């Protein structure tokens, strides 16, 4: 469906909106295939194969950017990790500039993550989490919202423009990355690979707003060694590691409360911006035995401008507070380990041309500009921002993210893609695609 595009011709809103709308079915098909690939940590490849095919289906050449554990460990902005990453890859596609593209346009990275979090509690889902179910405008499945719909939208937008005969006037790279939910090392590896642009849009499920600020995140694991004994003689002989973990958690909650007392802007808009989440606990091995071990794995946020090292010091001080209050705990001091997220928060100025241009594109479809917001979560945006590349989040409407019965509005997928189509024209410029 190539049309006769001539250089210098301004592509109309209507032409872009129609071209993207025509890809609605293709985006939905892609989204189904992505959601039915259960790409939890360590199993991302099934989804990357689908994305590789999708990029090829847009007429783009694809490339694998393999994770390099050693390079990542040495990189600024990396998080500690103990698992193997050597068989993992990001899939990227470069959308080449078209005829008469000499100068003028601004380059762009469109980024999405293929990894999803586990289903939380599969038995609570109405339908199996990795089998797609449609109900009206909603598509259900783990990762449907966070953020396979975003991957489908950004790819659909580019496909529509390519098929209509357009190419960007500056380089555009599409990235499907791994490990966003634990370290962000997929995106970091793309940057180590040399990815650079004048701006980056991450199509996370941030509907009707553009996210310009985010907290940092620290994962920490507290190992407590108890003294096992028969439960009948627990008070005299044993030291229960699970009881001790409860004391440590109470101290961490006091630390969390202090961090939320006086939040700096823009996080003063939130009632409780810094969240401590005890996410996993394991310990003990028998109901009638005093628990000999307990490991508590948690996540806590940190404000932009705060170093992750400071966040570590805060956690360790809270643990020390618990130890100081308990002579028994002092005899068995907990050990704090770091594995996974250890990352800073980040902020992009609302006045950045990237924000203004994306906001304008949204406004032309929806009749009003989107909100510009902060989030109390982290995203891969921080890696780009650290490298001086303004990066924001904007994408389809998802619900139940990291929860039960996650779903995404299919209409919002198309509308997000339409906004992205307009945005690519306004940010990069559109010129005729090269004739093969």
**Chain contacts with Zn ion (rule: CB under 5 A):** 146-147, 204
Pairing of strands 391-393, 371-375: unpaired
Cβ–Cβ under 8 Å, residues 66 and 32: no
Q: Which is nearer to Zn ion, 395 or 433 (CB)?
A: 395
Q: Which is nearer to Zn ion, 92 or 202 (CB)?
A: 202
Q: How far is the CB of 115 from Zn ion (least distance, A)?
A: 9
Q: Which is nearer to Zn ion, 204 or 256 (CB)?
A: 204
Please give the residue whose beta carbon sits closest to Zn ion in the complex.
146
How would you classify residue 316: left for phi > 0, otherwise alpha for psi between -120 and 50, otherwise beta? alpha
Q: What single DSSP character describes residue 181?
A: T
Q: What single DSSP character describes residue 9?
A: P
**Burial class (CB within 10 angstroms; exposed 0-12, middle 13-18, buried 19+) of 232:** exposed
User: Pick from 60, 57, 49: which is nearest to 91 by CA?
Assistant: 49
Q: Which is nearer to Zn ion, 88 or 148 (CB)?
A: 148
The alpha carbon dihedral of 284, 285, 287, 289 has a sign of negative
Question: DSSP secondary structure string, 140-173?
Answer: ESTTIIIIIHHHHHHHHHHHHHHHTTEEESS-EE
Q: How far is the CB of 425 from Zn ion (least distance, A)?
A: 26
User: Which tokens in the block code for residue 122?
Assistant: 């599969």
User: Pick from 336, 221, 348, 319: which is nearest to 279 by CA?
Assistant: 221
Q: Which is nearer to Zn ion, 42 or 59 (CB)?
A: 42
Q: Which is nearer to Zn ion, 19 or 401 (CB)?
A: 401
Q: How far is the CB of 377 from Zn ion (least distance, A)?
A: 8
Question: What separation in angstroms does the CA of 138 have from each of 31, 405, 419?
Answer: 12, 11, 20
Q: How far is the CB of 430 from Zn ion (least distance, A)?
A: 29
Q: How far is the CB of 182 from Zn ion (least distance, A)?
A: 11
Q: How far is the CB of 15 from Zn ion (least distance, A)?
A: 31
Q: How far is the CB of 233 from Zn ion (least distance, A)?
A: 49
Q: Which is nearer to Zn ion, 204 or 406 (CB)?
A: 204
């Amino acid at each position: 469906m190539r049309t006769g595009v001539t250089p210098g011709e301004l592509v109309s809103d209507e032409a872009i909106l129609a071209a993207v709308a025509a890809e609605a079915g293709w985006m939905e098909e892609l989204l189904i295939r992505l959601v039915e690939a259960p790409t939890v940590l360590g199993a991302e490849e099934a989804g990357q194969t689908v994305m590789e095919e999708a990029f090829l289906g847009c007429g783009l050449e694809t490339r694998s950017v393999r994770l390099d554990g050693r390079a990542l460990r040495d990189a600024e902005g990396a998080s500690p990790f103990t698992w193997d990453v050597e068989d993992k890859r990001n899939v990227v596609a470069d959308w080449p500039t078209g005829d008469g593209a000499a100068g003028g346009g601004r380059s762009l990275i469109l980024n999405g993550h293929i990894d999803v979090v586990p289903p939380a509690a599969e038995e609570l889902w109405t339908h199996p989490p990795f089998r797609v179910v449609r109900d009206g405008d909603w598509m259900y499945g783990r990762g449907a919202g966070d953020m396979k719909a975003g991957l489908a939208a950004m790819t659909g937008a580019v496909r529509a423009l390519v098929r209509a005969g357009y190419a960007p006037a500056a380089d555009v790279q599409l990235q499907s990355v791994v490990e966003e939910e634990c370290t962000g090392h997929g995106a970091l590896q793309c940057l180590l690979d040399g990815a650079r642009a004048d701006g980056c849009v991450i199509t996370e499920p941030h509907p009707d707003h553009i996210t310009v600020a985010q907290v940092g995140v620290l994962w920490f694991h507290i190992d407590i060694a108890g003294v096992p004994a028969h439960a009948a003689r627990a008070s005299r002989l044993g030291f229960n590691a699970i009881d001790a973990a409860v004391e440590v958690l109470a101290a961490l909650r006091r630390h969390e409360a202090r961090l939320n007392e006086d939040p700096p802007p823009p996080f003063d808009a939130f009632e409780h911006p810094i969240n401590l989440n005890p996410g996993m606990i394991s310990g003990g091995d028998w109901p009638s035995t005093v628990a000999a071990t307990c490991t508590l794995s948690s996540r806590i946020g940190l404000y932009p401008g705060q170093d992750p090292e400071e966040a570590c010091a805060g956690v360790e001080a809270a643990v020390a507070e618990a130890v100081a209050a308990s002579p028994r705990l002092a005899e068995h001091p907990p050990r704090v380990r770091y594995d996974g997220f250890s990352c800073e928060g980040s902020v992009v100025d609302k006045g950045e041309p990237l924000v203004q241009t994306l906001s304008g594109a949204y406004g032309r479809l929806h009749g009003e500009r989107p909100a510009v917001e902060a989030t109390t979560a982290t995203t891969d945006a921080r890696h780009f921002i650290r490298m001086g590349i303004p990066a924001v989040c904007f994408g389809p409407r998802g619900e139940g993210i990291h929860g039960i019965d996650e779903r995404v509005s299919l209409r919002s997928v198309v509308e997000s893609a339409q906004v992205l189509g307009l945005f690519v024209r306004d940010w990069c410029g559109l010129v005729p695609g090269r004739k093969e």
